Structure 1
Amino acid sequence: MPTLSLINFNIVCATLGGFISLFGLVSYLCKETFYLSEALISMLAGIAFSPHAANFIRPLDYAQGSQQNLETITLYFARLVLGVQLVLAGVQLPKRYLQIEWKSLSLLLGPGMAAMWICSSLVIWAMIPNLQFLHALIIAACITPTDPVLSNSIVKGRFADKHVPRPLQRIIIAESGANDGLGYPFLYFGLYLMKYVGMGGAGTSGGAAKAFGLWFSETWCYTILLSVAYGVVVGWLSRKLLHWAEEKRYVDRESFLVFAIALALFIIGTCGLIGTDDLLSCFIAGNVFTQDDWFRIETMDDSLQPTIDMLLNLSIFMWFGAVCPWSSFAQNDIIPIYRLVFLGVLILLVRRMPIVFAMHKYIHQIEHLSHAAFVGFFGPIGVGAIFYLSVCRDFLQSITVDGQVREDAQRVSDAVNIVVWFLVICSIIVHGLSVPLGKVGYHLPRTISQALSTPSTIEHNAVRIAHIQHTRSTATPEVDQSTSRGRKRGAQTASSAPEATIFRGNGQPGPNDPEEPERPVRLITHGTEQGVVFADERP
């Protein structure tokens, strides 16, 4: 006998599939007409389907009621999306891009990231009461990298093609891809110091010397350098093998198109097995894989990779909307809500803007101050920040004394969870609405001005028409050879001029205005409408 099966799997499939289908019906309208980002729309959908609203998506049920399991799911989901996104980011850059543009990237990834880290730390330290500067460094490290997922929303589509120069698009892609994997040194600098120096190094031994030793050996050598070397080797081997298979005609079209995504999954898994930086390795592998531009050109007109990328993006931002700790923003012992809001505003303004303005003359892709303002403002905080948040909280839970999480570690763990989640939500909303609000702000004053000036313009045009008629009827026409013929022409023009009621000119200063030299005019009649135009215009 048929029965209802209201299990989580059925509900999630129906909810996710229904939302993506409905969004797909109006996706072009949303993204290319209203310039709304898919991240913002899917996050709002996640909120609507979350336990706070419709309760179709129940994250704690999937994690068996454990908050730690829920954070693990979020971490792995973020790794998957970032890994695929970073390989695709590396693939879509032109050949040898990192070698050619190393100077610009070095500025953005070196002084740029360091300044973003310090500026964010200072703001967080100032806004959160009773917070040590070392703890602020840890929190700021999670939001230092710019997010490659949200960055794609401003470097793809009709708006980007029209308003963002191609070199600027590429440097944004390259920076967001590389610095997402370079967040480990900033994060572990504070974490190691806190573990071995904070609270007198309670529960640990070794002090600052051990902290710096681990930071250089484990973070820089093992995590960063090994991931770069691994990405180069895997990317080079993959390119050679795919070339060989294509020449032998061993690979079909479908497998060829999905090869980059499979490469991302392979790197995520193997880097996870050996405990190195899978994000940086994915980006480097993508660049090396398309070093000769062959794969990028072959797949340029194919939509498989963007389609999979879109499905992952919609899914993860729906998940973020459902799992975000909304209640903790207003009810916590770390930071009051008004300080949290002010913190979000300050971070979006000073985290990235000052250093970009300071360096823009040395980055040739940033040609004007408007470009610098664009690059400085659009440094979104998104999936990468949630990834580093999960890594940070997992490390902090390992700092224990007598089997309990150390007091300072627990406070920082709570603070980083509230602050990073709130800043991610702020970035999704602000950067998701910046383009449509900017377009409205650009067109609205002109529309209002035209609406308000219409009556006065008509009145002004009527006065001009009357003046023209009066001038032509009273002035002596110019006579070249035949005076009588000139008078006849002048009289005929004045007598036959109709009474104009509609002006068909451009509304600019007329022949008697000092701002514009006199131009010849002629009266016109179109059916029942009458008016005047300048001789160099068309009605």
Structure 2
Amino acid sequence: MPVLATTNFNIILSVLGGWVSLFGLVSYLCKESFYLSEALISLVAGVAFSPHAANFIRPLEYALGSTENLEAITLAFSRLVLGVQLILAGVQLPSRYLKKQWRALLILLGPIMAAMWLATSLLIWALVPGMHLLHALAVGACVTPTDPVLSAVIVKGKFADGNVPPDLQKIIIAESGANDGLGYPFLFFALYLIKYTGPVGSVAEEGGARAAMGLWFGETWGYTILLSVVYGAAVGWLAKELLHWAEARKFVDRESFLVFAISLALFIVGTCGMIGSDDVLACFIAGNVFTWDDWFRLETLDDSLQPTIDMLLNVSIFMWYGAVCPWAEFHQNSVLPLGRLVALGILVLLLRRLPWVFAVHRYIPQIEEVRQAIFVGFFGPVGVSAIFYLYIMREFLKTLEVDGEPRADVKDLAETVNVVVWFITICSIVVHGLSIPLGKLGFYLPRTISRGITPAPSNDGSDSPLPFTIGSGVSTFAALADLRRRSRGEPQEASSASSPPSGRPVYRIGGTVIPRRQDAGAADGVVPDRREESNAGKGFLDDSLIGAVETNMSPPGQGSAPYSGRTIRFPDEPALADGQATGSPVSPKP
């Protein structure tokens, strides 16, 4: 007789597949209309399915009941996601970007990153009772890098297209990719000093600070950092040349071509892991070198495979984090009361990055005004990279045991870093995930309510109010009605107070009205929508047109836009720099 096979494998596949499918049904609504990140939504789902709630996801059982195995699984999963994310981040940057923008990146990765480390460490030292300064420096190093996964909320999608300048998007991608791998020097500076400047008379004291600094310069900077840069550059260049060679001879099919960058990330993560170098930094450098000539990036602009893999990894890992997060330890631990933990989370989000970016923003060309400095300073999220360094540190602390017991001076450090890093990570996911929708709501809701309850005289002198408007006197409903008339081929009505100025189509992004960019190749100065043309004469307007903005559109009869399918879109592509029309195809460099 058939029986239910409720094995862990069947349950996890059912939960993961069902959740991804259900989320996919409303993903556009969540991300493009409500500006909610998939990381926050997946984290909440992970908590709902975890042993603390529905008990569908049981991480400890998958690790055979061993906490060490569970930590090893989480570390390996984090390495995989970071490797893929960072090689894709490197591929998405324009040609020779690191070489062209080295000054701005040097400021972000040098003084700003050091200030973030010291500020966070001092806050931890002040708020955690009995915390040694070296221990605080080690814990602060875990949450210093900005996370490339969570940073995607401000460089992808409709909000980024309408509110974040392209140059700013690029520098955010480059910084979040590079500083993940550069967390090693900050972390091991403190860890080596902890190991070699331990209590008097202990075995760990042999060598002292001289040995600690020798290892830091030789092993951390030489072997871990410099070797990973050289290795990543060599693998990226070799992969680029081999792919050029194979594609020129028609040896590679389209599917293998599209997945090449992702398979390259897997190879680098595996090989760097075997030799003990910095696989995270190597992946980012390899991605940049791999597309140094812009060929692969331009060839894959319209393809959705890379964003699809990116989305699957993001959803999976944040569900896993929601299930494995030590929620109970936040209020039941021996190192930090809950009140101080909450205060630490708030202060870290406010003081870790914002003051330092604001202080030096005039020296970063991509940050052109104060509002952008505040924006970049606030959105420095803590996420996957923090969990990665958390378990790197916990692995290192196991080497400081004496007779199977933790050394006396570090006996509480493993618990402290676990509680602090996990709590700050959860705070960042929630705060940065809700900042944009709450900010939009708080900014536009009072305006909407005031317009709804305050009557305004109409143009004909009557007391009837004007139609509901958003922005500079542009009626949203009138604009949509005009678009529907155009889609049916009907003549446009004479302009009035409620119609868009100059007869240009207007689209709404989060409460702001943005006119479509004019194209030099259009006869009347207005770029028609391809979907409008396809629907002409059918008596309806494609619903996806409403609330959407598509840059880089092709003029009629010139084919589809080369950039219309991208997840991240940079309006100032090489085609524009050469004076070409926005929708003109871009020929890849040889």
TM-score after normalising by structure 2 = 0.78
Change (3 A) 1:402 1:255: same
Structure 1 match to 2:70: 70
Would you identify which runs of 4 or more consecutive aligned residues in structure 1 move more than 4 Å? 503-507, 535-539
Instruction: Look up the equivalent residue of 2:5 and give its one-letter code.
Output: S
The residue type paired with residue 320 of structure 1 is Y
Q: Which amino acid aligns with 1:332?
A: N
Deviation at 1:404, TM superposition (A): 1.4
1:435 and 1:253 mapped to 2: Cα distance? 37
Residue 502 of structure 1: aligned partner: 464
Cα distance, 1:16–1:536 mapped onto 2, change above 3 Å = closer
- 3-state SS, counterpart of residue 22 of structure 2: helix
SS of 1:398's equivalent?
A: helix
Counterpart amino acid of 2:398?
Answer: Q
* Whole-angstrom CA distance in 2 between matches of 1:503 and 1:100: 54
Matches of 1:279 and 1:381 in 2, distance apart?
16
> Residues 136-215 of structure 1: matches in 2 within 5 Å?
136-200=136-200, 202-204=202-204, 205-215=206-216
1:5-16 paired onto structure 2 within 5 Å: 5-16=5-16
Please list, as runs of the form range in 1=range in 2, the aligned pairs for 1:122-521 lying within 5 A after superposition.
Answer: 122-200=122-200, 202-204=202-204, 205-454=206-455, 500-502=462-464, 504=466
The offset of 1:152, in angstroms, is 1.0
How far apart are residue 444 of structure 1 and its match?
Answer: 1.1
Distance 1:379 1:501, change over 3 A: closer
The whole-number CA distance in structure 1 between the counterparts of 2:221 and 2:112 is 18
Deviation at 1:407, TM superposition (A): 2.4
Which piece of structure 1 moves more, 49-58 or 197-206?
197-206
SS for the counterpart of 1:270 is helix
**Shift in Å, 1:197:** 0.6
Pair 1:118-2:118 in alignment: yes
Query: For the residues of structure 2 that align with 1:273 and 1:506, how far apart are their CA atoms?
Result: 63
For 1:173 and 1:40, how far apart are their aligned partners in 2? 20
Contact 2:452 2:468 in 1 (8 A): no
Change (3 A) 1:58 1:453: same
2: distance between equivalents of 1:290 and 1:19? 34
Q: Name the structure 1 match of 2:60.
A: 60
Judge conservation of contact 2:45–2:319 (CA < 8 Å) in 1.
yes
Instruction: Give the C-alpha shift of residue 409 in structure 1.
Output: 2.0
| Structure 2 equivalent of residue 511 of structure 1 | none
Separation in 1, partners of 2:35, 2:496: 38
Task: Return the alpha-carbon distance in structure 2 between the equivalents of residues 263 and 423 of structure 1.
Answer: 32
Deviations 1:513-532 (A, max 9, x none): xxxxxxxxxxxxxxxxxxxx
Contact kept, 8 Å, 1:202 with 1:401, in 2: the verdict is: no
Change in 2 beyond 3 A, CA 1:413/1:201: farther
Structure 1 residues 236-260: Cα deviation after superposition (integer angstroms, max 9, x where no partner): 0000000000001100000000000
CA distance in 1, matches of 2:171, 2:303: 23
Secondary structure at 1:281 match in 2: helix
Counterpart of 2:302 in 1: which secondary structure? coil
> Closer, same or farther in 2 for the Cα pair 1:265/1:503, shift >3 Å?
closer
Q: CA deviation at 1:26?
A: 0.4
Distance in 2 (CA, whole Å) between partners of 1:537 and 1:443 is 22
Give the whole-Å Cα distance in 1 for the aligned partners of 2:82 and 2:316.
13
Residue 186 of structure 2 aligns to a residue in which SS?
A: helix
Q: Secondary structure at the match of 1:70?
A: helix
Q: Is the 8 A contact 2:115 2:356 kept in 1?
A: yes
- Residue 93 of structure 2: aligned partner: 93
Q: Does the CA-based 8 Å contact 2:451-2:468 persist in structure 1?
A: no
- The structural deviation recorded for 1:501 is 5.0
Distance across 2 between alignment mates of 1:398 and 1:503: 74
Per-residue CA deviation, residues 4-57 of structure 1 (Å, 9 max, x unaligned), is 101000000000000000000000000000000000000000000000000000
Q: CA deviation at 1:198?
A: 2.7
Distance 1:138 1:250, change over 3 A: same
Letter in 1 for 2:158: R
Aligned to 2:29: 29
Q: Distance in 2 between matches of 1:108 and 1:58?
A: 40
Conserved 8 A contact 1:397-1:410 = no
Q: Structure 1 residues 444, 244: CA separation in 2 closer, same or farther (over 3 Å shift)?
A: same
Gaps spanning 5+ residues in structure 1: where? 466-499, 508-534
Instruction: Measure the CA separation in 2 of the matches of 1:504 and 1:328.
Output: 57
| 8 A contact 2:228–2:282 mirrored in 1 | yes
Paired residue type of 1:38? E
Query: Over alpha carbons, which structure has the higher Rg?
Result: 1
Structure having the higher helix fraction is: 1
Distance 1:441 1:506 in 2: 19
Q: Which residue number in structure 1 is paired with residue 537 of structure 2?
A: none
- Uncovered stretches (5+) of structure 2, i.e. residues with no partner: 470-494, 500-590
Structure 1 residue 506, shift from structure 2 partner: 10
TM-score normalised by structure 1 residue count: 0.85
Determine whether 1:40 maps to 2:2: no
With over 3 angstroms needed to count, the CA separation of the structure-2 counterparts of 1:308 and 1:537, relative to structure 1, is closer
Residues 351 and 506 of structure 1, relative CA distance in 2, 3 Å threshold:
closer
Give, as a single letter, the amino acid of the residue that structure 2 aligns with 1:278: D
Q: Secondary structure at the match of 2:124?
A: helix
Paired with 1:505 and 1:18, the residues of 2 have a C-alpha distance of 43
Q: Shift of residue 538 of structure 1? A: 6.7
Amino acid at match of 2:48: A
Partners of 1:391 and 1:369 in 2: how far apart? 37
State the AA in 2 paired with 1:54. A
Match of 2:583 in 1: none
Distance 1:71 1:252 in 2: 39
Asked whether the equivalents of residues 123 and 347 of structure 2 are also in contact (C-alpha less than 8 Å), the reply is yes
Q: 1:412 to 1:439 in 2, by over 3 A?
A: same
Query: Post-superposition shift, 1:130?
Result: 1.0
Letter in 1 for 2:132: Q
- 1:527 alignment partner in structure 2: none
More divergent stretch after superposition (64-73 vs 445-454): 445-454
* 2:529 alignment counterpart: none
Percent identical: 66
